[in-house]
A = this chain, B = another copy of it.
Amino acid sequence: MSDNLIELVDIEKHFGPVIALNGVSVSVKAGECHCLLGDNGAGKSTFIKTMSGVHKPTKGKILMEGKEVSFNSPRDAMEAGIATVYQDLAMIPLMSVTRNFWMGREPQRRFGPFKFFDFSEANEVTMTEMAKMGIHLRSPDQAVGTLSGGERQTVAISRAVFFGAKVLILDEPTSALGVRQTSNVLATIDKVRQKGIGVVFITHNVRHAMAVGDRFTVLNRGKTLGTAERGDIKAEELQDLMAGGQELAELEGSLGGTI
A interface residues (Cβ-Cβ under 8 A, vs B): 38-42, 148-150, 172, 175-183, 186-187, 190, 204-208, 210-212, 235, 239, 242-244, 248, 251-252, 254-256, 258-259
User: For residue A186, which residues in chain B have a CB less than 8 angstroms away from its CB?
Assistant: 255, 259
Chain A: interface secondary structure? helix
Q: Chain B's nearest CB lies how many Å from the CB of A112?
A: 46
User: Is B208 a contact of A179 with CB atoms below 8 Å?
Assistant: no
User: Is A179 a contact of B42 with CB atoms below 8 Å?
Assistant: no
Residue in B closest to A39 when the chains form the complex, CB atoms: B178
Residue in B closest to A239 when the chains form the complex, CB atoms: B179
Q: Chain B's nearest CB lies how many Å from the CB of A246?
A: 9
Q: Which one of B39, B183, B190, B259 lies within 8 Å of A207 (CB-CB)?
A: B259
User: For residue A204, which residues in chain B have a CB less than 8 angstroms away from its CB?
Assistant: 176-179, 182
User: For residue A181, which residues in chain B have a CB less than 8 angstroms away from its CB?
Assistant: 39-40
User: Is B183 a contact of A255 with CB atoms below 8 Å?
Assistant: yes
Complex copy number for this chain: 2
Q: Chain B's nearest CB lies how many Å from the CB of A33?
A: 11
User: Is A148 a contact of B183 with CB atoms below 8 Å?
Assistant: no
Q: With A207-B258, A210-B256, A212-B255 known to touch, is A172 a contact of B183 (CB < 8 Å)?
A: no
User: For residue A212, which residues in chain B have a CB less than 8 angstroms away from its CB?
Assistant: 255
User: Is A40 a contact of B255 with CB atoms below 8 Å?
Assistant: no
- Measured in the bound complex, the distance between the Cα atoms of B239 and A178 in whole Å is 10
User: Is B254 a contact of A190 with CB atoms below 8 Å?
Assistant: yes
- Measured in the bound complex, the distance between the Cα atoms of B183 and A242 in whole Å is 12
User: For residue A41, which residues in chain B have a CB less than 8 angstroms away from its CB?
Assistant: 148, 178
Q: Chain B's nearest CB lies how many Å from the CB of A146?
A: 12
Q: Chain B's nearest CB lies how many Å from the CB of A126?
A: 22
User: For residue A148, which residues in chain B have a CB less than 8 angstroms away from its CB?
Assistant: 40-41
